[in-house]
Amino acid sequence: MTKFMIQPESSTVNWTGKKILGLHTGTINIQSGYLSFENDILTGGEIVIDMTSIIITDIKDPKVNKDFLDHLNHDDFFSTDQFKTAKLSIIHAEKSDGKHTISGHLTIKDITNPISFIISVEIFTDFLHALGEIVIDRTMYNMKYGSGKFLSNLGDQLIHDDFVLQFKLIGQK
């Protein structure tokens, strides 16, 4: 078995959240993680995300940016004072056409749900490069603010339930 330790300083996670009248974007940092392989097949892994590192990249006005960031850190969304990390645990993967279909568990705010997604992985002797995208239904993690599932007559205040994480992971043996 080969284990690649994720290099947080070289890896990136970008997020996108959509609403009726637009979207917001930002980044979030990986705290730690690893991916395990056997014969170039992904067999497991874990990625820990530092939820206190959320940055908003699309709002340039400092006050509006701070107000929105405070809202994301509040109990309406990620409750970062109480839940400083989120975790992805990879339980199983299947390789086909150079890509891995991942099955695992995602834990946000101490709520764990199954998740699946596809990543592409390249291994260069001692280094790993992985790219992927995860679509997450925030309401499954008790983030109901602005959700049409739970509130009616939101009009242009409706926030889509799904948010997207696009990631690039760099790992080293």
| CATH assignment at residue 156 | 2.40.128.110
pLDDT of residue 2: 93
CB 24 within 8 A of CB 59: yes
**Tell me, what's the pLDDT at 19?**
73
Beta bridge partners of 129: 122, 170
pLDDT at residue 77, as a whole number: 85
**From CA 64, how far away is CA 98, in angstroms rounded?**
43
pLDDT means over runs of 10, the chain (173 residues): 96 89 92 94 95 96 94 88 97 91 97 96 93 93 62 51 92 96
Tell me what pLDDT residue 170 has: 98
d(CA 164, CA 135): 5
Q: Please tell me the total count of domains within the chain.
A: 1
Q: Which residues pair with 155 in a beta bridge?
A: none
Q: What's residue 57's pLDDT?
A: 97
Residue 154 pLDDT: 44
Cβ within 8 Å of residue 12, ≥6 positions away = 27, 167, 168
- Whole-model pTM: value is 0.89
Q: How far is CA 52 from each of CA 5, 57, 83, 166, rounded to the nearest angstrom?
A: 22, 15, 9, 18
Predicted local confidence at residue 97, as pLDDT: 87
Q: Backbone phi, then psi, for 69, in 5-degree steps?
A: -60, -45
* pLDDT at residue number 158: 52
Query: Can you give the residue range of the structural domain that contains 137?
Result: 2-172
What does the pLDDT read at residue 156? 45
